[in-house]
Amino acid sequence: MNMTKETKRAIYILIFGNFLICLGISLVIPVQPFIKKMYGYSTTDIGIMTSLYAFAQFLASPIVGRISDRMGRKVVIVTGLSLYMISEIIFALSNSLWLFNVSRIIGGLSAAMFMPTSMAMAADLTDKKERARVIGWISAAFSGGLILGPGIGGLLANFSIKTPFWAAAALGLISTIFTIIFLVDEPQNLMTKSEKISWKHFLKPMMIVLFAMIFISSFGLQGFESIYSIYVNQVFKFSMGTIALVLTLNGISSLFFQIVMFDWLTRQLGELHLIGLCFFLGGLCTVWITQAHHQLEVIIATLIVFTAFDIVRPAITTLLTKTSQANQGLINGLNMSLTSVGNVVGPIMSGMLMDMNPQVPYIVVAMILFASFVITLIVQRVAVQKS
């Protein structure tokens, strides 16, 4: 890629920041069953705790995206990293449900400030030819944090149940300082790309479909992931160490496909075909998990499900950022807001359904993913007819 030294440095900072923020989102996953037992919480309590993060993110993301369009990216990014550090410290100090919930709300605000703003900044700094690869790398950091977070959290929790969050807070402090010193903002360039919004032009049919797919993919991922450690612990008797190992292996696989294979897959299949394939494989392997009899089956199916989800996100985001050169902050803010809606609904639904029957939430997730696959087939057919 033909980039200046400053542009490359900015993108590296954005990649690390996305990884760090998503690490904070998912560190809590392997300790959920143990927090649940230690404090006597229900699965619904845990689902609500998880969803509060996404709810705060949902409310703040479009507003923050528009602010960054007008005021510049760096100040919003630095504020987001600072709030991330604060949220991890509060979680590490918490011993009551309301404090855990406060921590997750602040964490959601930090994600709303950092993630859509960083994606918008990446779009500002790249042209369409470069963008798919850059977004693939940023999305790899995003999903890598989500997938590796549970594994790292499980390993650090062997020292203490709060150790993962102290470690995340320390990384947040280092990242904030590093970003203040080395990230260069260019407010004049950003301002020229912030135009008056024409909603009729902005919400094209394809954009509406892509936004719907964003919601579905986030709903499916969080509906699957939010109860995963509780599900395999309860149904298949996975230990915390086994959960950490499985999710770490999944992280390695997902990172390989996003960093090494994503650009090649999009060139060979096209984004829409790739999205459809991921929805289909995710639904199929979610059903497989509910019917599995051995831990090895669960591990293989989990590997495929997470990899499918982690490919579909950058594919959708790449298509979105190509729809308009202007208002990238708002576009990515809406992207993150709809992701957050899925993240709110998914864990609450899965938690409530799992309190009734452990298998039901995954059956529901699979049905939604299969329906999404059908929608992508329809969209592909319409696109072919128009061309």
Residue 386, phi then psi, degrees to nearest 5:
-70, -30
Task: Return d(Cα 382, Cα 277) in angstroms, integer.
Answer: 17
Contact (CB, 8 A) for 112 and 205: no
Please give the pLDDT value at position 343: 66
Distances (CA, A) of 70 to 79, 183, 188, 202: 16, 18, 10, 18
Please give the pLDDT value at position 96: 86
Q: Decide: residue 267, CB within 10 A, 0-12 exposed, 13-18 middle, 19+ buried.
A: exposed
* Predicted confidence pLDDT, tens digits, the chain (387 residues): 566 777 788 888 888 888 887 777 677 777 777 777 888 888 778 778 877 877 787 788 778 877 877 777 888 889 999 998 999 899 889 888 899 899 989 988 998 888 878 877 887 777 767 776 787 788 778 767 776 777 788 788 888 888 888 888 888 888 888 888 878 765 444 444 445 555 555 566 777 777 777 777 777 777 887 788 888 888 888 887 888 788 778 778 877 887 888 878 888 888 888 889 999 999 999 999 999 888 889 889 989 998 888 788 788 877 777 665 556 666 666 666 776 677 667 777 888 888 888 888 889 889 988 988 888 888 777 766 665
Contact (CB, 8 A) for 164 and 27: yes
User: DSSP character for 323?
Assistant: S
User: DSSP character for 259?
Assistant: I
Non-local CB neighbours of 249 within 8 Å, separated by 6+ positions? 299, 303
Please give the pLDDT value at position 192: 44
User: What residue spans of the chain are helical by DSSP H?
Assistant: 5-26, 32-39, 43-71, 74-93, 97-125, 128-156, 163-182, 187-192, 199-202, 205-225, 228-235, 240-256, 262-269, 271-291, 295-321, 328-356, 360-386
CATH class of the region 5-386: mainly alpha
The pTM for the full model equals 0.69
Looking up tokens 């954005």 gives 14
Please give the pLDDT value at position 202: 57
Task: Return d(Cα 67, Cα 62) in angstroms, integer.
Answer: 9
Please give the pLDDT value at position 342: 73
